[in-house]
Amino acid sequence: MTTDRPRIVNLSPADPARPQPGRANGAEADRAENAVLTAYLAHLTAKGHHVLRHRVVTYPALASTDLFDRTAGEVVMASHRSDYHALISAHGVLSDCAQHFPSARRALLLTAEPGPAAREFLSHHQIIAIWPEGESFVRAHPAARGS
């Protein structure tokens, strides 16, 4: 066991987004998440955003977020699922990792449009939902607190 504190490791564009430490998705899930991350990174870059690919390294190795959009101030994690257990896991990972990106908003990049229950969950927990639609991406922002 180590006493090292969690730290950010920057990834090069050639590094695969998956698999992540501590996360056993499977080949199909890894491909789906890698594809949506690659497309989203290209989308943001084309819009002139400064985006960093990263991994938060911890011990024991836990799942990590995937991108930090410095321009928008968003820490982003990709997920191929939007069921309740996946949302709970994403909420925990995003909340834990966001502390390494001061003032960052949290965003979950999904491979498909989430259903109403998933959107409500994400909105309640102040997480932006993002998913591909055609050649672009749709964003569902959380409701303002107290609404």
Average confidence (pLDDT) over 63-86:
89
Backbone angles phi, psi at 111, to 5 degrees: -85, -15
User: Residue 134 domain-assigned?
Assistant: yes
Show the 3-state SS of 57-68.
ECCCCCCCCCEE
- 1 pLDDT higher than 50: no
Residue pair 111/131 in contact (Cβ under 8 Å)? The answer is: yes
- In a domain, residue 102? The reply is yes
Q: Could you tell me if residue 70 is inside a domain?
A: yes
**Residue 64's domain spans which residues?**
57-147
Identity at 18, one-letter amino acid code:
R
Contact 138/130 with Cβ under 8 angstroms? yes
Instruction: Give pLDDT tens digits for 103-126.
Output: 899 999 999 999 999 999 999 999
Given this model, what pLDDT does residue 39 score?
Answer: 93
Domain count, the chain: 1
Tell me, what's the pLDDT at 11?
Answer: 75
Tell me the whole-structure pTM to 2 decimals: 0.85
24 assigned to some structural domain: no
Residue 111 lies in a domain: yes
Residue at 51 is within a domain = no
